[in-house]
Amino acid sequence: MTDLGASDLAGRIRAREVTAQAVTRAHLDRIAALDSTLNSFITVDAEGALASARQVDQRLERGEPVGPLCGVPVALKDNLVTAGIETTAGSRVLRGWRPPYDGTVVARLRAADAVLLGKLNMDEFAMGSSCESSAHGPCRNPWDTGRVPGGSSGGAAAAVAAGLCAAALGTDTGGSIRQPASFCGVVGLKPTYGRVSRMGVIAFASSLDQVGPLARTVRDCALLLEVIGGPDVKDSTCLPAPLQPGSLQQACQRRELKRLRVGIPREYLDQGGLEPSVERAVREAIATLAELGAEVRDVSLPHTRYAIAAYYLIATAEASSNLARYDGVRFGPTLPGARGNLDQMYSASRGEFGAEVKRRIMLGTFALCAGYHDAYYGRAQRVRALIQRDFQRVFDGGCDVIACPTSPCSAFRLGQRLDDPLQMYLADIFTISCNLAGLPGLALPCGLCDEGLPVGLQLLGPPLSEATLLGAGAAYEHATAWHTLRPPLDPVTS
């Protein structure tokens, strides 16, 4: 039961082949058996999950209508605000916070009759690429528990890979859905900026943050995006483009890629530092796309080498502003020791931030400082425009999608990169430009590296091209079996 995907489970529950309560219990049992090792959940809401499942079963018994995710066990990254359920964003600063409302994506999942299992581990405030900066302790990769699951949505990727939930929601600011999906061998979709409401998402970098699904198949990602996406009056950056129910799942019927023009950016694949077995897996995947009928061509994104520098200035500048609210008054602990002046009170509360968050707040503050603003932040914004233009030229020039690796490497060992934050940042090279340009990106399993760890293929497209990306991904998935591989965990429950 814990091996079935979201679409399958919803179908079987709706057909009353299995009850939502049995499905929920199977997942809760598996969490109890495996998560003391993986640490993918920060909070498990067993009671709430079973109550939702019971309601779904009762409604089905009475013959009442149910939503598209009826009884499907879904878990949420802990930066998604949940009414009454502790929401910490992986930080000590928010420990104990029970939000008084649901974020839009959470409300939409509930309205679609999903069963919410709990909150997933993540890098503190989504700042990290390894899930090691969490105040809840690091999450582990189910393929090798000595390795990181990636980040920042590491808990989401690990939980989906290990069958602890059928699907999950993460957030992606610079690759935080796609890179962990790649490290854990699951599918992750970062939608177009504005496709999904950010109301009730704990802000990291507001011009880059986007919510998206992680699941075990492309079709399940399509189903989840149909539920969570679309206009929202509570987020003025949410695009007015409607998302028709069924439209993305329909796109996933695609079985060939005739007339699909796929660009391979030479700056991505010819770049040094790409792990050889990752490169091999991605090149084989591109060959498969060609066998399916796609027309593969060489393209150029000339400003790629400036992307990381621009990203780490823009994202940290926005973070330094967004995280000003953790001051012990609006949010954050009012510490008993804070009895001095107002500044001492702020500092005491902000002393609860972990090292990576402090580092990024300082870098962002530096980038915005008088005297440095134009040289750093201003320049980064203009580079961002050049990177957007690079992509636009490729798409205007006749490419439908871009194919490339998701990450230059497979999952690395816990602790291996903690001492050198710059090296950790540099590994975000293939995912970051997509956020700077506001584009959608899909990561999907495309092989195993020499150590037997998953490798991810990434497909990028123009704004609002999710249906094209999901269609191409589904055709690839149908032609290959990488998405059916499971991590070598004890089969504790069926």
Give the nearest distance from C-beta 479 to other proteins in angstroms.
Answer: 31
* Residue 182 to residue 143: CA distance in whole angstroms: 12
Residue 270: CB atoms within 10 A of its CB come to 11
Does position 359 interact with other proteins (CB under 8 A)? The reply is yes
Q: Is residue 77 among the annotated active site residues? A: yes
Spell out where 279-365 has E strands. 295-299
Does position 127 interact with other proteins (CB under 8 A)? The reply is no
Q: Is residue 176 among the annotated active site residues? A: yes
Does position 385 interact with other proteins (CB under 8 A)? The reply is yes
Cβ(466)–Cβ(195) below 8 Å: yes
Return the bridge partners of 215, or none.
167, 187
Q: CA torsion 23→29→30→33, rounded to 10°?
A: 180
Residues in binding contact with other proteins, number by CB under 8 A: 67
Q: Is residue 207 among the annotated active site residues? A: no
Give the nearest distance from C-beta 209 to other proteins in angstroms.
Answer: 14
Give the nearest distance from C-beta 462 to other proteins in angstroms.
Answer: 8
Does position 417 interact with other proteins (CB under 8 A)? The reply is no
Q: Which is nearer to other proteins, 67 or 438 (CB)?
A: 438
At which residue do the structure tokens 């400003």 appear? Answer: 303
- Active-site position among 77, 130, 197, 410: 77
Give the nearest distance from C-beta 443 to other proteins in angstroms.
Answer: 20
Does position 413 interact with other proteins (CB under 8 A)? The reply is no
- Active-site position among 91, 133, 134, 176: 176
Which range touches other proteins (CB under 8 A), out of 62-70, 175-183, 197-205, 348-356?
348-356
* Residue of 156, 248, 285, 361 that binds other proteins (CB under 8 A): 361
Does position 365 interact with other proteins (CB under 8 A)? The reply is yes
Which range touches other proteins (CB under 8 A), out of 60-68, 104-112, 176-184, 357-365?
357-365
Q: Kindly write out the interface string for residues 71-110 of this chain, putting x where it contacts other proteins by CB under 8 A and - elsewhere.
A: --------------------------xxxxx---------
* Residue of 125, 193, 412, 430 that binds other proteins (CB under 8 A): 193
Q: What angle do CA 409, 413, 418 make, to 5 degrees?
A: 95
Show Cβ contacts of residue 275 under 8 Å, excluding neighbours closer than 6 positions: 408, 409, 410, 449
- Is the N-terminal amide bond of 152 cis, ω within 30° of 0? yes
* Residue 340 to residue 346: CA distance in whole angstroms: 10
Give the nearest distance from C-beta 455 to other proteins in angstroms.
Answer: 27
| Sheet with 167-171, side-by-side order of all strands | 41-44, 115-120, 73-77, 167-171, 211-215, 187-190, 441-448, 454-460, 401-405, 261-265, 295-299
